[in-house]
Structure 1
Amino acid sequence: MENFTEKYSKSYLDGKWVDGDTGRKEDIVNPYDHSVITTVGLASLKQLKDAYKTAEERQKEWAHTSVNERRGIFQKVAEFLQNNRDEIIPIVSRETGGTLLKAELELNLTIDVLKETFNYMDAIDEVKEVHATIDGKRNKIYRQPLGVISSISPFNFPMNLSMRSIAPALALGNTVVHKADLQVGLTGGSIIARAFDYAGLPGGVFQSIFTTPEEIGDEMLENPVIQLVAFTGSTGFGKHIGKVAGENLKRVALELGGNNPFIVLQDAKVDKAVEAAVFGKFMHQGQICMCVNRIIVHKDLYDEFTEKFIEHASKLPYGDQTKPETVIGPLINEGQVEKVMGLIEKAEKNGVKLGLKGKREGNVITPHVFVDVDNSEEIAQSELFSPVVSIIKADSDDHAIEMANDTKYGLTSSIFTSDLKKGEAYGLKIDSGMTHINDQTVNDAANIPFGGNKQSGMGRFGNPWVIDEFTKLKWISVQEEYREFPF
């Protein structure tokens, strides 16, 4: 991929790579060693408003392209990502702080999202007839694109979580104005824009902008042409989006935070549960909305599980994320590190016991394991987004489920048990969008209804559920025989 960080460190607007005209520049840095990956110019509010105007103009034509034309473009996008994976994976790792394993996983998930669109891309061409109660009438239900979509993505899995909104939106005839978190602007924006540019997507159908909230305010929520705001990120900002979008009667698709329980029932196989919990907690340093946040263990297995979990976690290699052996890399920035260290210090002051006290080296935090934690403690009720975890003792299996539900979040969850039927029954009792039996909490696929309950979000991604998020229905009735009216 040709001099990518130099050539494409710009906004992609109306089919062109353009510099921001604010005069302000920001460095994108490797969170491990703070080396500058590239420098980008920030786009202005005017540039963003122009992007929405362009998106509105181009959407009408894009909506009427054939399925074959859209499919051909998407095939080329997938081809670009696949053919350039050896160049893309190091960029993802350096920019996000993720390990090479995480970067490869993210790229694979992104390609899967693209390919799944082939299975529902023709949804906007379908017409459904429903029974009419009036003689001589035919009722037809058409599915149409919404129009212009705002897409805002986070720093943790920026390519996948961007494409999860971008791909279905475009596949179903919408146009998209997208803003990735600036810290990961190449992974979350420019690589995607370059792929669609390579594939021949008409200019203005997808646009990616380098900017900050300080420059644009709430324009990505308020612009009159926006029909839906798709956002993945914190619950706090999700609430703000919901409020602003609601006041402007715009749809939202929100995938927010999580306080995900990993439950070990009385009959679980401890060694297998430990292996799964370690992966589900420490993948990408715990910076995944689906990561294990609390481990709730039946009292009969608590000591054995805790001892083995701590032993495993204490041996995980940490440091430079670009080295193949690294498991624990850096958090995304120093602010996140300070926030996490503050939570750890506060919990210790409140008397919460550390079974494994890790350390900080720059932006790397090694595993910290709190034990004998009360489920009501702040450390147990906070989304930690780091390699920090609480282990909680349950008096019974039912007690474990009760504590699992005692949170404002409801994204995902896991249950380990030797009785699969019981596990599934308990899974239905957990108030979360997803529960995994004898697996860890970090699971995603392009053909499942991905999303959370309570303060973990609104809406569902994945085929076919995502179709309803990014389209609208239109009722056309045709009166084939003239009606008689009473007056």
Structure 2
Amino acid sequence: MSSVKSVSIAAVPRPYEGFSDQYISGRWRAGKFGTALIDTDPYTSNTLVEIPNADASDLDEAYRAAAHAQRLWAATAPHERAQVIARAAEIMKARHDEMLDWLISETGSTRAKAEIEWHFAVGITAEAATFPHRAEGRLLPSDAPGKESRAYRQPLGVVGVISPWNFPLYLTQRSVAPALALGNAVVIKPAGETPVTGGLLLAKIFEEAGLPAGLLNVVIGQVEEIGDAFTLHPVPRMISFTGSTRIGRRVGSLAMTAPQIKRVALELGGNAPLVVLDDADLEHAVRSAVVGRFLHQGQICMSSNRIIVDAKVHDAFVERFVAHVRTLKYGDPRDPAVSIGPVISQKQLTAHFATLKLAHDTGAKQLLGGEAQGLVLPPHVFVNVKNDSVFAQSEMFGPIAPIIKVSGDEEALRVANETEFGLSSAVFTQDQERGVRFALGIEAGMTHINDHSVDDSRSGPFGGEKNSGLGRFGGEWILHELTRDHWVTIQQNKGPYPF
């Protein structure tokens, strides 16, 4: 008998309630740690929800519930798993406004950014619904007489997902939906700044979609209590982490030193170069660079962190860039006309003040700026930036744009590659083949020609090189990351043995 529940989707669903609990083993209940996480709106500072923190025993229960539920789920017919994931996508569409409200309230997203994130999340969910029928095995050639060789593709088991606060809905769902579709169970540890959009909201959606209890769990707690334990626990076979390079190194190290070695997918920091060559369409390059740098206040791992411009067009580009940035409205993210909302926290704002001081200390010239209003930092633009400065080499994660002047393609490429990171990148030129040659020289996992660096696709291989991480998300790549090959042979004859 099927374990999947039949559900109907209301045309105008009632808004979800009950985000003050953990979601463990199919039950909504309080965490046992004894303190509460207070989730606030970064623009208004209003409290959105208070969530009693989980302790180590809550985490253990979540992982063991996932391991128990996964065995039956892996044996469920592919079409039944596909139906649950497809229903989740439909629920997300029906709850579009509700989900956008949460993204704006909890993350400080502007409405435009919230729409982009919702679109990405629905897209990867729809893509994942195809995965149950795409996880194929193979019959392999064999040189041994009478011996059949097979490669089966099987789920890993339980996947632990640690997600960030900047694109929490999408960057969680891009691991969760494919993992569930392929027969795995999942435990999510969302960022403390975004427990709802990074975990609990998805739990509500999959619960409504009829996902059997125990397959998806969300634990919210202090790093000191469940941080390392989340990776060291013996149950998960893989940890999918998106966040800073510093913490990603620790997660990777713990995964290798745990009693049972685990796979890791690490999507880490970035310092994306956006290169404007001397034949670029400047109007298009300017508009793209502004979006690539200032979308979601620059709080994106793929954000165009360094804008590298050929000297022949530098002054014209800078003039147009500054003029366009001046038109950006900043303030309340609920205002549809606002392009730049608040940064996520006072901690991040303080870090941006330090970055601005670095810019001045290293000789950069400020062309645009302004005083912070609450957690809203107006856009800042700097020129005369040295690529080897601490300022340029930092992942800023804020609305600060450094522009670097170079002479010719060779210097542009060298400067683009002079970073410890290698996630995304972009190049602008009206010569497509020149653009491809340049792109293939960039040491990054992704390069976009005549578009900004903030791009993702449900079917493309998303991931980085160097200190930007390991593994790939999207399409066939995430399918292989979240499954394992099991080689099975069948000897039909009694073959000769050497002894």
TM interval, shorter chain, is over 0.9
Matched, 1:405 2:405: no
- 1:327 paired residue among 339, 356, 362: 339
2:324 aligns to what?
A: 312
Letter of the 1:81 partner, please give it: M
- 1:113 paired residue among 102, 105, 124: 124
- 2:265 paired residue among 253, 268, 286: 253
Please give the residue correspondences for 1:257-336 in structure 2 after superposition, counting only pairs within 5 Å: 257-336=269-348
- 2:110 paired residue among 86, 95, 99: 99
RMSD between aligned alpha carbons? 1.1
Instruction: Extract unaligned runs of 5+ from structure 2.
Output: 1-12
1:451 aligns to what?
A: 463
- 1:162 paired residue among 172, 177, 193: 172
- 1:136 paired residue among 134, 146, 166: 146
Residue 171 of structure 2 aligns to a residue whose secondary structure is helix
Letter of the 1:411 partner, please give it: L
Residue 274 of structure 2 aligns to a residue whose secondary structure is strand
Contact 1:96–1:332 (Cα < 8 Å) also in 2? yes
Contact 1:123–1:143 (Cα < 8 Å) also in 2? no
Residue 300 of structure 1 aligns to a residue whose secondary structure is helix
Q: Return the offset for 1:326.
A: 0.7
Choose 19-28 or 300-309, whichever is displaced more. Answer: 19-28
Quote the Cα distance in structure 1 between the aligned partners of 2:290 and 2:408.
Answer: 23
C-alpha deviations, 1:279-316, integer Å up to 9, x for none? Answer: 11110000000110000000000001011111111221
C-alpha deviations, 1:326-359, integer Å up to 9, x for none? Answer: 1000000000000011110122123221122332
1:202 aligns to what?
A: 212
Quote the Cα distance in structure 2 between the aligned partners of 1:374 and 1:32.
Answer: 33
Letter of the 1:285 partner, please give it: Q
Quote the Cα distance in structure 1 between the aligned partners of 2:102 and 2:317.
Answer: 37
Residue 274 of structure 1 aligns to a residue whose secondary structure is helix
Please give the residue correspondences for 1:30-429 in structure 2 after superposition, counting only pairs within 5 Å: 30-124=41-135, 126-248=136-258, 249-429=261-441
Letter of the 1:190 partner, please give it: L
Q: Return the offset for 1:433.
A: 0.5
Q: Return the offset for 1:76.
A: 1.3
Quote the Cα distance in structure 2 between the aligned partners of 1:71 and 1:159.
Answer: 20
Matched, 1:29 2:40: yes
Letter of the 1:214 partner, please give it: E
Quote the Cα distance in structure 1 between the aligned partners of 2:394 and 2:331.
Answer: 25
Quote the Cα distance in structure 2 between the aligned partners of 1:406 and 1:359.
Answer: 31
Contact 1:14–1:203 (Cα < 8 Å) also in 2? yes
2:3 aligns to what?
A: none
TM-score, normalised by the number of residues in structure 1:
0.98
Quote the Cα distance in structure 1 between the aligned partners of 2:30 and 2:130.
Answer: 37
Contact 2:358–2:390 (Cα < 8 Å) also in 1? no
Residue 7 of structure 1 aligns to a residue whose secondary structure is coil
Residue 105 of structure 1 aligns to a residue whose secondary structure is helix
C-alpha deviations, 1:377-425, integer Å up to 9, x for none? Answer: 1111000000001100011111101100000000011100010111011
Contact 2:363–2:384 (Cα < 8 Å) also in 1? no
Contact 1:9–1:186 (Cα < 8 Å) also in 2? no
Contact 1:25–1:42 (Cα < 8 Å) also in 2? yes
TM-score, normalised by the number of residues in structure 2:
0.96
- 2:30 paired residue among 19, 34, 40: 19
Choose 197-206 or 351-360, whichever is displaced more. Answer: 351-360
Choose 354-363 or 289-298, whichever is displaced more. Answer: 354-363
Residue 301 of structure 1 aligns to a residue whose secondary structure is helix
2:7 aligns to what?
A: none
Residue 159 of structure 2 aligns to a residue whose secondary structure is strand
Residue 361 of structure 1 aligns to a residue whose secondary structure is coil
Choose 247-256 or 454-463, whichever is displaced more. Answer: 247-256
Quote the Cα distance in structure 1 between the aligned partners of 2:336 and 2:76.
Answer: 44
Quote the Cα distance in structure 2 between the aligned partners of 1:380 and 1:358.
Answer: 20
Q: Return the offset for 1:3.
A: 5.1
Please list every run of at least 4 consecutive aligned residues from structure 1 whose deviation after the TM superposition is greater than 6 angstroms.
none
Quote the Cα distance in structure 2 between the aligned partners of 1:120 and 1:480.
Answer: 33
Choose 152-161 or 206-215, whichever is displaced more. Answer: 206-215
Quote the Cα distance in structure 2 between the aligned partners of 1:350 and 1:233.
Answer: 27
Residue 49 of structure 2 aligns to a residue whose secondary structure is strand
Residue 153 of structure 2 aligns to a residue whose secondary structure is strand
Q: Return the offset for 1:58.
A: 1.3
Residue 49 of structure 1 aligns to a residue whose secondary structure is helix
Q: Return the offset for 1:46.
A: 0.5
Residue 401 of structure 1 aligns to a residue whose secondary structure is helix
Quote the Cα distance in structure 1 between the aligned partners of 2:129 and 2:73.
Answer: 17
Quote the Cα distance in structure 1 between the aligned partners of 2:468 and 2:358.
Answer: 25
Residue 184 of structure 1 aligns to a residue whose secondary structure is coil
Contact 2:124–2:458 (Cα < 8 Å) also in 1? yes
C-alpha deviations, 1:109-168, integer Å up to 9, x for none? Answer: 1110011113322244x3311111111101000011111111010000000000011011
Matched, 1:432 2:444: yes
1:477 aligns to what?
A: 489
Residue 275 of structure 2 aligns to a residue whose secondary structure is strand
Q: Return the offset for 1:482.
A: 1.3
